[in-house]
Structure 1
């Protein structure tokens, strides 16, 4: 399990490194993850560069090449789907996006002398609307010592309990906890205006929200059942997979 924070990104269309988000990725031992990228300067009705969840697969034994799939949950796909649904309800003919068309991203990783990681590859650039080459810098965070005010880089081995909840019924989504941190994404298909809910919470004696968007009442914050158990929150049922 791990927590990663992005330090910067540089696109080929604008090679200067920058970071306009507070991106954090929580991953489980099976490499299933939730990746949330809220804008530092929120704008619009969806104040995120991206919010998605999926799984990672090693393409090289040393971890230098990893494939990321996010057809499980992808905010760009969901927002396009909702726009199609609105037009359809207005009497227009539409063609819905397909989850099978969501591309997989392959990142090439290099560990730098300071322990941070450089990732290069090609993926969709929300700014330009096209696929571009990119270079990102990442840091692994200590899941116990990192706080909302202070990031602490993880050592080579940091043990932390984790839990992974996937929605079993009532929508689509995932909620991951690693150490003192948890975050989740959820799609309410009955809400076309605010279909996506996002939460990031930190434990400091109690679970405190660091980030909330949409209706977050369905997330299993603070729940710690055994693997295989289910948790109901209103009309949403979650299953503990890890």
Structure 2
């Protein structure tokens, strides 16, 4: 049976839905390159780094660019994305997330963010929830993208908690694999058919609490909540 000491949260699609802003920014860039970029294509970018996302878009369009050109395009995409997130506020926090994290804090469970986003701190500030996190591991602190476990192992280390006592909340397949590669219990947020490798899958935090999480962890098996 696992002992819960810390929870690590992905950002996009778990705490806030910035995925649509990423999609709009990537779509604008793709159109400038003459590439038809759809919402289905956008699913391939979940949980991966900015440069890898650009590579995927270029692969979709069958285009090859120099490293210098790719860096310039990635920076341009980020400028467009920043225009969107600078307009964000607390109303964009997904239902139940803040109350769940507050419940964790009230029960002395440590909380960290584990995200590939280099804008994670800015988003947390815009949402006014930066103070809820004991550690923030973002794209500026890691060199390996998910499914490599680096982001979550670094989070556990910064929290001074052993990996097996951590729970990860993720909405992407790559993130779930990263959590499992780190030896952590993983809760998938979203579609059970896509996130079936997670230990537990929930649609969101609206009807979820610490008691339910601990009950599922005691089973220490693959459980799913629809």
Q: TM-score, normalised by structure 2?
A: 0.31
Q: TM-score, normalised by structure 1?
A: 0.30
- Higher RCO (CA < 8 A, seq sep 6+): 2
Larger relative helix fraction: 2
